[in-house]
Amino acid sequence: MKAEPGMIFTWYKFLNVSIMSQASKCEPCDAVAPPANLLPIDKTEFAVAVPGGTATIAGVAVTVRAGDPLLKPNERYLVFLNGVQGPDRTGVLARPEWAFRVSADGGLIQVVGKRSLLSDDVLSFGSLDAIREHIRMLHAKPTSAGSKVGVAGSTI
């Protein structure tokens, strides 16, 4: 997703529990600057911009609904991001259906109901442990660059 001037984002700050896979370089890397109230971002954290939300412009509340997932504090998530590069450690949730809540038993629940090939594949594994094992096996083989995949802990 390319961030355009005037786009509205909702920001989340996460504790990084683990990174399961990360591209060697960010292509395309459309970083969006985080708001000042999220800074500083510690080395154990990262911030995610999710398209959509509410902003006040010239005294008027403007709401954009972009299929934005509702991420809740103190939950664990598996997210597929574009970015998380540079000193600000920020990324953009490329598509809302690429966020999954991780249940207490390691099961995966899609945050939004919209489906995609990737979300169907992720859900077909059934658990975070099964995805970790699949990614471990993929890393044993030569692969091309891809998106960053991480498990985020509680939002802050």
Kindly state the helix (H) or strand (E) to which residue 134 belongs, with its residue range: helix 128-139
Per-residue pLDDT of the chain (156 residues; tens, 9 = 90+): 455 557 788 888 888 887 777 766 665 566 677 888 888 888 888 888 887 888 888 999 988 876 666 788 889 999 887 766 556 677 777 777 888 999 999 999 998 878 889 899 999 999 999 998 988 888 776 545 555 555 555 444
As a whole number of Å, the CA-based R_g of the chain is 16
Q: Contact, 101 vs 124, CB < 8 A?
A: no
Partners of residue 53 on adjacent β-strands:
64
Using the structure block, give the residue that is written with the tokens 């998380």.
Answer: 84
Dist CA 37 CA 60 (whole Å): 21
Q: In this structure, what token pair is assigned to residue 58?
A: 């010239």
